[in-house]
Amino acid sequence: MKIAVRYYSKGGNTKKLADAIADALGTEAETVDRPLDERTDIVFLGSAVYANGVDESVKRFIRKNAGYIGTLYNFSTAAIAPSTYKQVKKVAEENGVAMSEREYHCKGSFLFLNPGCPTDGDITRAVAFAKLAYKDAE
């Protein structure tokens, strides 16, 4: 089964989750600037909330790689906002990309908010999510 992990992270919080997920599944996490080079069964896509939105590069990744994505699995961080699931799902739907309802979201540190987040526990839970996602696809 072909797996890929892509993320966009300004400050490193979402990257922490991406790296842990990739490591647990035996692959490398890459930024959304790296296109998929072949059909990929499971694509974990990490994003964060900036000014209530998802970075344009995340949306562009879905648009440009739609034909190669088997199932998209969302994970995200934010200081206060809920997960990026709905915003990502909208773009996935517009581009005919199947997206799992299984997702992972946790708080990320921002200025004085949520120091130390994502925590080690958050990372453990992100890895558990990824392993369940892998099982879904088996």
In the complex, the residues that contact ligand FMN under the rule CB under 6 A are: 9-15, 48-52, 77-81, 108-110
Nearer to ligand FMN, 40 or 76 (CB): 76
How far, in Å, are 34, 48, 110, 121, 134 from residue 116 at the CA level? 28, 16, 10, 11, 28
At closest approach, how far in Å is the CB of 21 from ligand FMN?
Answer: 13
Q: Which of 35, 86, 39 is nearest to 63 (CA)?
A: 35
At closest approach, how far in Å is the CB of 109 from ligand FMN?
Answer: 6
CA torsion angle for 70, 58, 15, 89 (degrees, to 10)? -60
Nearer to ligand FMN, 79 or 123 (CB): 79
Residue nearest to ligand FMN (CB): 108
At closest approach, how far in Å is the CB of 98 from ligand FMN?
Answer: 25
Nearer to ligand FMN, 98 or 113 (CB): 113
CA torsion angle for 124, 127, 133, 136 (degrees, to 10)? -70
Nearer to ligand FMN, 34 or 39 (CB): 34
At closest approach, how far in Å is the CB of 15 from ligand FMN?
Answer: 6
Q: H or E segment at 113?
A: none
